[in-house]
Structure 1
Amino acid sequence: MNVSVSPDSADSRGSRGSRRSLGSPVFPGVDAAALDIDVSAEVAALYSDGITARKGAFTPEWADRLGEDVAKAFEEARSRPGGAVGRGPNRYYVEIHPEQIRGFVELVDHPWVRSLCTATLGPDYRIVELGFDVPLEGAVNQPWHRDFPMPEETRRERRLTSLAFNVTTVDTEEDMGPFEIAPGTQWDDSEDFEHGMFPPKADYDRYLRRAVRKYPRRGDISARTALTIHRGTANQSAKSRPVLVLGVDGPEANNGERHDAAVTRAYWETLPERVRRHLDCAIVDELTPVTQLHTIEGLVMGDA
């Protein structure tokens, strides 16, 4: 097995560390003065740990409204073929259209979200995914995985080309199957990764030693590179744990090819220009329910 393991502690910024200093954004040509807020520490965390967060970005009431919209979309999706894709037993993913949630503009136009996308991916970042994961009662441990194979830009240059933002709709508790991540593993690279995403089980002990469970509360938002090895854990409660997912690509990334979001012309006209310039989706006269395209082969395997 040929595994390139991520470096630790002071060396974790990699060979392009001068571009990742705490004093300036990573993406070349982006002036820190052009950002809404200083996110240099968060960019450094993305390159070292693979994940960062903003506590209390929204009010709990905002998150409650999001939870209502997600619940409505989940009920609709499960009522039709192809509306929800399984991510293991009692665990689902659903892609939705932006206007299905009332807080879409507040989310993508939040200063922290805008600044982090610009500093990490550049001024031409594209919003390509809006969906949610729902681990229900009885969901089991997922296999350790990343969400897509490592892009060549990341492999050659140790540069991130996309981000995934997660927004919980509930206060996460230990028995609800919290998200678990192995910090620093975004750089792991091996020909033994099945489909480029699933590391061999021989590596699981190393991920368990690194593993950190996350317990976000309503109003918190996190950002990560989906290359960092992670998994959902077993939900041993009687409660579901819905989490909204916002996917953002830089200029070179092609994750949008796996998604099928759209907005109506009427909704498009209501959007601020600085949201429209980043929203990469079809503009239609009438919305058609999304048939899920973003399957992650292997997560239906069950308890790993």
Structure 2
Amino acid sequence: MSVNLTIPTQQYDPAEIMGALYGPGILGLKGAFTREFAKELGEDIAVLYEEALKRPGGAVGRGPKRHYVEIHPEDIRGFVELATHPWVKAVCETVLGPDYKIVEIGFDVPNPGAENQPWHRDFPAPEDTVKGRRLNSLAFNLTTVDVEPDMGPFEIAPGTQWDDASAFEHEMFPPKEFYSRYEERAEQKMPKMGDISVRSALTIHRGTANRSDKARPVLVLGVDAPGANNHERHDLQVTKAFYEKLPDDLKSRLLCRIVDELEVIVQGHTIEGLMMGEA
């Protein structure tokens, strides 16, 4: 795979990174990868999605006409380039510390006909965040298409990663009487192929209705600080042959099982409040 990363020469500013993730809860880098990189990623996801839909437990519904599929790192051609991108590394080291671990890779697909999701977090806030006011995980998103307003853009309510969830259902789903707070803050994101973003999955967000005739696939890379337990929701695995070819620095970043042959993943990270009818 030819990548040709677009990498600014200046160092990434730790203050800007911390300010964004601890403030709004989201940060992006335009043109991090070439459009060709995103196109090839989209081709790989299309094949994996078709295969996942054919097997029991291969994809989990995230609402009508939406699915999430967890995959293996070696299922896509650009995993190493993504995981070792200087901006990705800088963000992880700045927010999560030098011993961060990659614990998840998968993709979301909001298809034509997908409806607005309820406002939500991806999981309950951990004690590190509730009591320690510290973020111990991040989610990177990489679109495979140019997102347009009618394609069900991702919508986020900046700053809400710190909201008290004591009244939330499952500590994830705020009651509808809270929605006005999120709608007042809401920002829709419309990245282009090659752009990448990172967010706290605790920041209140939702996928919006896809009124177009096009799907909006997006790759997800989940990263934890030491002591976080998000790996328990996932099953990251790589083959010995793949692992041996990885850069040494990346080997130490993977919290995974090393296997002789890849095992089929039965999707485990279900989000009950998003199972809104047939996906």
**TM-score band (shorter)?**
over 0.9
Residue deviations 1:200-230, cap 9 Å, x none?
1100011000000000000000000000000
* Runs of 4+, deviation exceeding 4 Å: none
The counterpart of 1:225, out of the listed 195, 200, 210, is 200
* TM-score calculated relative to the size of structure 2: 0.94
What pairs with 1:160-171 in structure 2 (closer than 5 Å)?
A: 160-171=135-146
TM score, norm. by length of structure 1:
0.87
Per-residue Cα deviation, 1:7-41 (whole angstroms, up to 9, x for no partner): xxxxxxxxxxxxxxxxxxxxxxxxxxxx9643420
Aligned to 2:248: 273
Residues of 1 paired with 2:147 and 2:32: CA distance? 16
1:157 offset after TM fit, Å? 1.7
- For 1:154, the equivalent position in structure 2 comes to 129
Residue of structure 1 aligned with 2:154, choices 179, 186, 190 = 179
Identity of aligned residues (%): 66
Is 2:105 aligned against 1:130? yes
In the alignment, which residue of structure 1 is the partner of 2:48?
73
Please report the RMSD computed on the Cα atoms of aligned residues, expressed in angstroms.
1.3
Q: Is the 8 A contact 1:139 1:234 kept in 2?
A: yes
Shift of 1:190: 2.9
Structure 1 unaligned residues grouped into runs of 5+: 1-34
Whether 2:58 is the aligned partner of 1:83: answer yes
Name the counterpart of 2:238.
263
Deviation at 1:101, TM superposition (A): 0.5
Residue in 1 that maps onto 2:273: 298
Q: What residue in structure 2 maps to residue 112 of structure 1?
A: 87
Contact 2:63-2:276 within 8 A present in 1 as well: yes
- Separation in 2, partners of 1:39, 1:57: 18
Whichever residue aligns with residue 192 of structure 1, its letter is: A
Equivalent of 2:118 in 111, 127, 143:
143
- The one of 41, 45, 65 aligned to 2:16: 41
| Alignment partner, residue 212 of structure 2 | 237
Q: Deviations over 1:89-131 (max 9, x none)?
A: 0000000000000000000000000011001000110000000
Q: Aligned AA for 1:180?
A: E
In structure 1, what is the Cα distance between the partners aligned to 2:255 and 2:128?
Answer: 21
Contact 1:36 1:114 in 2 (8 A): no
Alignment length, in residue pairs? 269
